[in-house]
Amino acid sequence: MTTANRTFDVERPIGVAVLGMGNVGTEVVRILRDHADDLHSRVGAPVVLRGVAVRNLDKDRGLPADLVTTDAEALVAREDVDIVVEVIGGIDPPRALILAALNAGKSVVTANKALLADYTGELAEAAERSRADLYFEAAVAGAIPVVRPLMQSLAGDRVDRVIGIVNGTTNFILSAMDETGANYSEMLAEATRLGYAEADPTADVEGFDAAAKAAILASLAFHTRVTAADVYREGISKVTADDLAIASALGCTVKLLALCERVTDPEGKERISVRVYPALVQREHPLATVNGAFNAVVVEAANAGRLMFYGQGAGGAPTASAVMGDLVMASRNKFYGGRGPGESTYAKLPIAPMGDTPTRYLVNLHVADRPGVLSGVAAEFASRDVSISTVRQEGAGDGARLLVLTHLATDSALTETVAALSELDFVIAVNSVLRLEGTEE
C-alpha cells in the first residue's frame, strides 16, 4: 500500500521532511519536536521529523546529526517521508523539490509566495494528478489565517473585493514616516537597522512581495488563475514626507495596498483587477489603523459583508504557526485518507488592464499663481471626462500648490490628464500623484 492511500494505519507515523532551516524552518522544527504529543493527539498518529535539509552542515542547529542533510532531493524521496515542508524560499531549488514530492504523492506545505505566484498552475496540477495536498497558508500575511478562509470558510459566498496590507517592511516604513515626518530613506535605514528590511530591500519596497501575495489572494477569491505578471505594481520608494503630510491634512494616511476586485468592462462583462501601489487611505478606514510591521486583509463578500483579518505578517514563529496549521491538516488527510480542496479556477475571469480600472487620483501640482490657471487645470480633467471632487490651493513660493482630488475615473483617463497637465506652461511641476482607495465616489 502506498503512503498516499494509507488510512488508519496507526502503526506507522506521518513522516515529515523540512527543507530549509532559516527563521521559519527553525521554528517549525522546534514546534514539531516540543509539541510532538499534542500533534499526535490532534492528528491521530505520531508526526515525526525525518530530516531537515540545509545548505551548510557546519552550523550547530541543536539537532542530532542524522537528522540534518544537504541532500534535499534524497530527503524528499525517502519512503518514510509523507509530507514535505518547504521553507527555503525562491524559485530554484524549491520548484523541482516540490514537484518531485507532489509527483510522488507526498503532500507539500510551503511558505513560498514567489514560487506560487509564478508557477501556481504547474504545482496545482501536479498536486491534482497525484491527489496530494498543496497547502500555503504561510505564503500570504504570515500568521494571519486568510488562505483557508478564502478557500474554505467563504467557499459558499461570493467575494467581491480583497484589500490588504500584506508587506510588513513597507508598512513599517510608511507608518514611521506618518508618525515622525521623516523621509523615505531615513525610515528605510531604520527598518534595515531593526531587521525588518533585508540588505537588498527591492522585493519589499518595490512591491514585488506584495504583488506575489496579491496574485495568490486574487486566485483564491475569484476562482481564477492569477500570476504575478497579471498584477499591476508600484512600490513605495517614491513616496515623500510631503505626500504623508498632505495625506494627513486630508484626513488620510498612505499605505501600500494589495487590491483584488471584481470590475466590469465597458460591455458590462465581469473582469478582475489586481494591483499593488501606495495609496491614500482615509483615517477611519480599518486599514489605516494597521501600523508598524503588522499586516491586515479586508475581505468583502456578498453575504458575509466586510471581514478583517489582522496580525503578524512575518517572523519565524508567526509564520511557523501558519505552516504548522497546514501540516496538521495535511497529516490528518494522510491519516484518514482523502485530501483538502485543490486549486479552483473554474471562473477563468479575464484580468482588466490597469488603464480600465476605476480609481481616484490626488494630483499635487506646483503652478503659476495667475488668472486662468485653475480653469486651465480644470479643463484638462473635464476634457477627459474626469470629475473633480475637491481642489485646495495654497501659496508655494513664487506660485501656488494645487491639490486636485478626483472622483472615480479610469486609470488611463487619469494618466492622460496628468501627462497633459505636465505640458501646460503654467504648471511648474507635477509634484506627485497618489491614488485614493477605500471610498466609492
Task: Please identify, using beta-carbon distances, which residue of 167 and 364 lies nearer to ligand HSE.
Answer: 167
Size of interface with ligand HSE, in residues (CB under 6 A) = 7
Options 213, 238, 255, 269, the catalytic residue: 213
Q: Does 234 bind ligand HSE (CB under 6 A)?
A: no
Q: Interface with ligand HSE includes 175 (CB under 6 A)?
A: no
63-72 long-range contacts, Cβ below 8 Å, gap at least 24? 63/29, 72/19, 72/97
Q: Give me the least distance between CB of 215 and ligand HSE, in Å please.
A: 13
Residue 15 or 168 having the CB closest to ligand HSE: 168
Question: Please, what is the minimum distance in Å from the beta carbon of residue 170 to ligand HSE?
Answer: 7
> How large is the greatest C-alpha to C-alpha distance in the chain, in angstroms?
87
Q: Pairing state of beta strands 107-110 and 134-135? A: parallel
Q: Which of 26, 69, 112, 167 binds ligand HSE (CB under 6 A)?
A: 167
Task: Assess whether 213 carries a catalytic annotation.
Answer: yes
Closest approach, Cβ 245 to ligand HSE, in A, equals 25
Q: Does 27 bind ligand HSE (CB under 6 A)?
A: no
Question: How many residues would you count in the chain?
Answer: 441
* Residue numbers 199-218 binding ligand HSE by CB under 6 A: 204, 209
Q: Which of 149, 168, 278, 318 binds ligand HSE (CB under 6 A)?
A: 168
Least distance to ligand HSE from the beta carbon of 140, Å?
A: 8
Instruction: Check residue 118 for interaction with ligand HSE (CB under 6 A).
Output: no
Q: Which stretch binds ligand HSE (CB under 6 A): 167-175, 254-262, 347-355, 416-424?
A: 167-175
> Which one among 26, 69, 107, 169 touches ligand HSE, defined by CB under 6 A?
169
Residues that bind ligand HSE (CB under 6 A): 167-169, 204, 209, 313-314
